[in-house]
């Protein structure tokens, strides 16, 4: 008999979600490109300029949910370009990351402005919508993880 109305509705919602998600990704991708950074380098600098991650190489990878090799390559490039330094950590398995003066200037011209724009966008929502937005996104991600684990 064709597609059920509920399946159609869910399919349309999924298409709208995917379009919105890709649009959001493209906002960041386009900005990174405009300022001459790879996406990975941009996100590393972003993490270094926020309060929720310690500047340790292994924690950067965990925060970004990106392959270790991508993180390592981007860090080496940022180091070679003089934006940051990498030093052995206390456990000798992970390196601590520090921005150089040149890196701080780069962040002030790029990443810091992005963080300000994100804060302004969130402030454009009332507090209850901010909480609902994050709550629903977390709930969706948890449900999606659970369903994805069922796939062989």
Q: Where are the domains of the chain?
A: 1-34, 38-103, 110-152
Q: What pTM, to 2 d.p., does this model score?
A: 0.84
- What pLDDT is recorded for position 52? 61
Contact (CB, 8 A) for 89 and 96: yes
- What pLDDT is recorded for position 59? 85
Q: What is the mean pLDDT of residues 116-120?
A: 97
Higher pLDDT, 142 or 92: 142
3-state SS class at 85: strand
- Greatest CA separation for the chain: 66
- Which residues, 6+ apart, have CB-to-CB distance to 90 below 8 Å? none
Chain segment 41-72, per-residue pLDDT in tens: 999 999 999 866 567 888 888 888 889 899 99
Tell me the CATH number of domain 38-103, given options 3.40.630.10, 1.10.10.10, 3.40.50.360, 3.40.50.720.
1.10.10.10
CA distances to 26, 55, 117, 130 from 124, rounded to whole Å, are 21, 30, 11, 9
User: Which residues face 55 on adjacent strands?
Assistant: none
**Structure-derived torsion over alpha carbons of residues 95, 100, 106, 109, reported in degrees to the nearest 10:** 110
């Amino acid at each position: 008999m064709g597609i059920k109305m509920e399946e159609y509705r869910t399919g349309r919602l999924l298409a709208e979600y995917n379009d919105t998600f890709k649009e959001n990704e493209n906002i960041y991708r386009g900005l990174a490109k405009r300022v001459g950074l790879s996406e990975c380098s941009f996100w590393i600098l972003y993490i270094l300029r926020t309060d929720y991650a310690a500047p340790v190489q292994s924690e950067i990878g965990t925060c970004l949910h990106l392959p270790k090799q991508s993180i390592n390559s981007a860090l080496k490039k940022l180091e070679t370009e003089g934006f940051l330094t990498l030093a052995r950590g206390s456990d000798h398995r992970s390196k601590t990351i520090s921005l150089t003066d040149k890196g701080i200037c780069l962040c002030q011209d790029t990443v810091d402005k992005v963080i300000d724009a994100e804060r302004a966008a969130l402030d454009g929502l009332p507090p209850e919508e901010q909480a609902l937005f994050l709550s629903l996104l977390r709930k969706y991600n948890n449900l999606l993880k659970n369903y994805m684990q069922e796939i062989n």
